[in-house]
């Protein structure tokens, strides 16, 4: 039986697949070692290697960030931070966030998103009205 598809799990599978594709392309480049008839050929080879390694860098970093969310230490630190906040925050689930690392293109990861709890409707809020001292009401 297949597990229900969640955006978070589906995204992890896609990240892994993208990393496998880059590794395969890098392996193909290592195996082929094309001849370099001119300086333009060398420049093209360097550019191809640089693009693949930068893409691999970004994907590995994104997978590490994504995997770190399951770390008990990070979850405890998050809980302490949430407890220390003066107003309660509501967990809104994971949201996609595009991260740009020092190498490679931006990669989307799913991170926990917390927001303030919804305020009470305007009519239910407690109201304070200034009173005039001349009315005699206390």
Q: What is the domain partition of the chain in residue ranges? A: 7-116
Residue 133: which pLDDT band, with cuts at 50, 70 and 90?
Answer: low
Closest Cα to residue 96, out of 3, 10, 29, 4? 10
> Taking a C-beta distance cutoff of 8 angstroms, is the pair 104, 59 a contact?
yes
Closest Cα to residue 22, out of 106, 104, 111, 108? 104
β-pairing, 107-116 vs 89-99, is: antiparallel
Render pLDDT for 21-39 as a digit per residue (tens, 0 to 9). 999 999 999 898 878 888 9
Residue 137: which pLDDT band, with cuts at 50, 70 and 90?
Answer: low
> Taking a C-beta distance cutoff of 8 angstroms, is the pair 109, 96 a contact?
yes
Residue 86: which pLDDT band, with cuts at 50, 70 and 90?
Answer: confident
pLDDT higher than 70, residue 6: no
Residue 95 β-bridge partners: 111
Contacts with 52 (C-beta within 8 Å, 6 or more apart), sequence order: 22, 25, 26, 29
Residue 89: which pLDDT band, with cuts at 50, 70 and 90?
Answer: confident
| Average pLDDT, integer, range 82-109 | 89
To the nearest whole percent, how much of the chain has pLDDT over 70? 80
How confident is the model at residue 2, as a pLDDT? 46
């Amino acid at each position: 039986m297949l597990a229900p598809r969640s955006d978070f799990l589906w995204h992890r599978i896609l990240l892994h697949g993208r990393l496998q594709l880059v590794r395969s392309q890098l392996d193909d480049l290592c195996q082929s070692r094309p001849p370099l008839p001119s300086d333009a050929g060398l420049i093209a080879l360097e550019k191809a290697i640089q693009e693949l390694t930068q893409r691999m860098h970004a994907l590995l970093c994104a997978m590490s960030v994504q995997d770190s969310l399951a770390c008990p230490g990070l979850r405890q630190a998050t809980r302490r931070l949430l407890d220390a906040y003066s107003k309660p925050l509501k967990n809104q689930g994971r949201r996609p966030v595009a991260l740009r690392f020092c190498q490679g293109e931006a990669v989307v990861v799913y991170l926990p998103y917390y927001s303030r709890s919804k305020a009470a409707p305007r009519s239910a809020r407690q109201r304070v009205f200034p009173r005039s001292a001349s009315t005699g009401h206390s």
